Amino acid sequence: MIPTQTNRTLQVSDVQGRETMPPNDHLKFQVNCDAGDHGQLRVGSESLVVNVGQRIVRDGRTEIWDSIVVKCSEEPDGSCIVHVLLCNPDWEEPMQLACLRSYPDTGSPSQVPLFCHLTSEGDRWR
């Protein structure tokens, strides 16, 4: 068992070694991050924003640029939505790569568990 922040529940490994949410938990999302020798993060939450930065050189200076942003939130209808955004320093605004939606509170055996909408190159984040 890996403890998370004090206001979160413990995460338990399943047979494949992935971290899983305890049953009947009110948390909507989970993130597992392995940064090699620098450590690990495993936490569940009602919402998440994860930025993945990488080293770039711009205007002669080296910096870390957030190239991927993952935004997770609960919608008013109870659905859980994940937006995957691609960011480029040459663009005015991020491009949405994918939108994933689930309905955990109203799911039924006949309902698709996860809807995935892959967006085209022209779709910009709004």
Say how many domains are in the chain: 2
Are residues 49 and 43 in contact, defined by beta-carbon separation less than 8 angstroms?
no
Give the pTM: 0.73
Do 73 and 105 sit in the same domain of this protein?
yes
Give the pLDDT of the chain (126 residues) as one tens digit per residue.
Answer: 333 333 333 344 444 455 555 554 678 999 999 999 999 999 889 899 999 999 999 999 999 999 999 999 999 988 999 999 999 999 999 999 999 999 887 766 777 888 999 986 656 655
Q: Are strands 48-58 and 40-45 parallel, antiparallel or unpaired?
A: unpaired
Domain hosting residue 57, numbered range: 47-126
Amino acid in the structure at residue 104: P
Do 100 and 125 sit in the same domain of this protein?
yes
Please give the pLDDT value at position 56.
95
